[in-house]
Amino acid sequence: MGLELRSENSELRTRNSGPKSYSVILLVLGFVIVASLLFAALTVSSQALWAFPIVVSMWTAFLWVLIGTGIATFSAPPHRPRRIVAIVIGCSLIAIAALAVTILAGLLMIGPRSASL
């Protein structure tokens, strides 16, 4: 006749124990795909001069959303300042790498078309 005590937190912990980074990964992949296609499309159009500033503007918005999503995903209240600083630095480095991959992918997409002048 043993008593078994269960807390709600233990059940909640087992349900949410999967990988938490799916939202951040999907956000980064979505940005890379959309921004590289936009960069390639604008570069071959008559608006080629605006391709880089538009992609950088999209990247700035992406950076803010990525930082907010990263903090919501990887930190629980009360948010410790050191953890927040580490998340912001990590998200910024990921965003810079995503911008480089985006521009490289966009240039690779238009490479064969621009080679035949």
Q: What is the pLDDT of residues 13-67, one digit of tens each?
A: 444 544 678 889 999 999 999 999 999 888 888 888 888 899 999 999 999 999 9
What pLDDT score was predicted for residue 113?
62
Residue 6 has pLDDT above 80, yes or no: no
Residue 10 has pLDDT above 50, yes or no: no
* pTM listed for this prediction: 0.75
Question: Which stretch of 12-16, 78-82, 102-106, 107-111 has the lowest confidence by average pLDDT?
Answer: 12-16
28 CB contacts (<8 Å, ≥6 apart)? 66, 94, 98
Domain boundaries, the chain: 42-117
What pLDDT score was predicted for residue 57?
95
Percentage of residues in the chain having pLDDT higher than 70: 79
Give CA–CA dist 117/115, Å, rounded: 6
- Residue for token pair 């949410």: 16
Average of per-residue pLDDT across 82-92: 95
Give CA–CA dist 117/112, Å, rounded: 10
